[in-house]
Structure 1
Amino acid sequence: MSTVKAGDTVNVHYHGKLTDGTTFDSSEGRAPLQFTVGEGQVIKGFDDALIDMKVGDKKTVNIPVEEAYGPAAPENFIEFPKTDFPPEMEPVVGAQLHLSDNQGNQFPVVISEVKEETVVLDANHPLAGKDLIFDIELVSIG
């Protein structure tokens, strides 16, 4: 039976959890995730975990921050004056918003702090700075 190597297209079922057991994503009830191993389509730790797996294999992998979404970058915290928010909007910590860059691309941010005159927005990936745990099942290769 063949094993997974870089360049193989695979289908996997997965259950992603934080170290406190909170689920952040799962393929349960959906089609398996399909991607090509080693092409950077998924985080490095997930990619690496599939090497040498056989169809039907299941494993649990602990993926440290460095092999997941990396640490939260201080430069991705943006401070905005409260006056830049619509008057009817009350900024609340944890609220998700979308900002646009100079090219019109939208990206999600989360309000991380509300100060007297400003609001601090976190533009890091929601899983940045977190160790992740994945239960993985290899469904098929090719």
Structure 2
Amino acid sequence: MRIKKGSRVTFHYELRDESGEVVDSTYNGEPVIYIQGEGEIIEGLEAFLEGEEPGFSAKVTIPAEKAYGVTNDDLVVFAGPENFEDDVALEVGSTVETEDPDGETIIFRIIEISEDKVYLDGNHPLADQTLDYKVEVLEVH
């Protein structure tokens, strides 16, 4: 069976960033299971897998626009330290969670801390990056 909209797909992947460093891999763990056409994986990878079948294995380069997007300056915001719970570690590089008006969870990375402001970045850490994937389709239902 070939991958088409609505297919339940099981696959392994290895993800490398622009420097060639392995960022993530499922080969030593559980494979990914997703529904084709539901936007559960990045757009470029979903399009690449369309029409393939179990046993398909390949490498693909996905541009930032079809991966995690380009940086959106509107997602860089700041808040006062008093806006955080006492148990939240305010350190550059750490992450904090909040909810948008619809109740969806948003994760922000702390990118800078000054005396009266904590600067937060809601962009994906891999925004602006061209990504290299190695994929292997295991099952299609």
Normalising by structure 2, what TM-score? 0.82
Identity %: 29
Match of 2:58 in 1: 59
Note if 1:31 corresponds to 2:30: yes
Partner deviation per Cα, 1:40-78 (whole Å, 9 max, x = no partner) = 221111101112323212111111111112112111111
Match of 2:12 in 1: 13
Amino acid at match of 2:42: I
Match of 1:136 in 2: 135
Query: Relative to 1, partners in 2 of residues 1:4 and 1:82: Cα closer, same or farther, differing over 3 Å?
Result: closer
**C-alpha distance in 2, partners of 1:114/1:64?**
31
Equivalent residues, number: 141
Match of 2:124 in 1: 125
Match of 1:107 in 2: 106
Amino acid at match of 1:107: I
Partner deviation per Cα, 1:5-62 (whole Å, 9 max, x = no partner) = 3333221111112111233322123332122222222111110111232321211111
Amino acid at match of 2:32: L
**C-alpha distance in 1, partners of 2:3/2:69?**
25
Normalising by structure 1, what TM-score? 0.81
**C-alpha distance in 2, partners of 1:69/1:59?**
20
Which deviates more, 107-116 or 82-91?
Answer: 82-91
Match of 2:21 in 1: 22
**C-alpha distance in 2, partners of 1:87/1:32?**
38
Which deviates more, 130-139 or 98-107?
Answer: 98-107
Match of 2:40 in 1: 41
| Cα shift at 1:114 | 2.0
Structure possessing the higher radius of gyration over alpha carbons: 1
| Cα shift at 1:117 | 2.6
The runs of 5 or more residues in structure 2 that have no matched partner are none
**C-alpha distance in 2, partners of 1:6/1:106?**
27
**C-alpha distance in 1, partners of 2:89/2:37?**
44
RMSD of aligned C-alpha atoms?
2.5
Q: Would you identify which runs of 4 or more consecutive aligned residues in structure 1 move more than 6 Å?
A: 87-90
